[in-house]
Amino acid sequence: MFRFVFIRNRMSRELFVRIMNAVEAHDDYFVQKRNGAGVLGLSCFQKITAAMRMLTYGVPADATDEYVRIGESTALESLRRFVAAVVEIFGEEYLRHPNEVDVARLLAMGEQKGFPGMLGLIDCMHWAWKNCPYDKQGQYKGHVDKPTIILEAVASDDLWIWHAFFGMPGSHNDINVLIGLLCLITWRKVELLK
């Protein structure tokens, strides 16, 4: 089962174990304990696997019982604590705006590729919205027959995501999204100059 988790989550074993060990060291909830009868409780692996399955695939908490033998309330508590722990542990390094060193590095990467002044690559993806409310479907239908939501992201070559926005109606095309992003960048520059 251990190998199957990495294949399904498309995550290397080393990364999964690194996250699992960091979360277990950060929050005592994830440490495997014995109950009053001396029986071992759920392992850190089971709790984190349930949380990752809910985040990755959007499965309901009660569906994790069949896969990792964990109850609905425990799966929800594991998810809540996992997200809080990841933000506290990795937030300072990975959940931040680029600083001066990052901007200089990104500009140098763009310069090497022949694009001076480029901070990253922008991409817009249309994701199908399966459960779109009926009254919103017209607004969210674009170039495909299904309602879609646009994910807008700016990433660098080293796969760091510097900007992400999820939720624009699928009726927007990529040019409308880009214009909105440029307005946001201009507004941020004005705010920084104040």
pLDDT digits (tens, 9 = 90+) for 47-60: 999 999 888 887 88
Q: How far apart are CA 45 and CA 53, in angstroms?
A: 12
Q: How many domains does the chain have?
A: 2
Domain check: are 122 and 68 in the same one? Answer: no
pTM passes above 0.75: no
Which pair of structure tokens corresponds to residue 105?
Answer: 């590095």
Report the pLDDT averaged over residues 30-41. 92
Domain check: are 8 and 65 in the same one? Answer: yes
Q: How far apart are CA 175 and CA 122, in angstroms?
A: 11
Locate all alpha helices (DSSP H) within the chain, ordered by sequence.
2-9, 13-26, 44-57, 64-68, 72-94, 100-112, 137-140, 174-193
Query: Which of 45, 74, 94 is the last residue in one of the domains?
Result: 94
Domain check: are 104 and 187 in the same one? Answer: yes
Mean pLDDT score of the chain, rounded to an integer? 80
* Cβ partners under 8 Å of residue 123, min gap 6: 152, 153, 154, 155
Which pair of structure tokens corresponds to residue 130?
Answer: 């399966």
In this structure, the number of other CB atoms found within 10 A of the CB of residue 57 comes to 10
87 has pLDDT over 90: yes
Range of the domain at 122: 100-193
Domain check: are 48 and 109 in the same one? Answer: no
4 has pLDDT over 50: no
The predicted structure's pLDDT at residue 172: 66
Domain check: are 109 and 63 in the same one? Answer: no
pLDDT: which is higher, 9 or 63: 63
Query: Which of 56, 77, 94 is the last residue in one of the domains?
Result: 94
Domain check: are 82 and 119 in the same one? Answer: no
User: Angle, nearest 10°, between helix axes 2-9 and 13-26?
Assistant: 100
Query: Predicted confidence band at 113 (pLDDT cuts at 50, 70, 90)?
Result: confident
Sheet containing 121-128, strands listed edge to edge, beginning at the edge strand earlier in sequence: 121-128, 148-155, 161-169
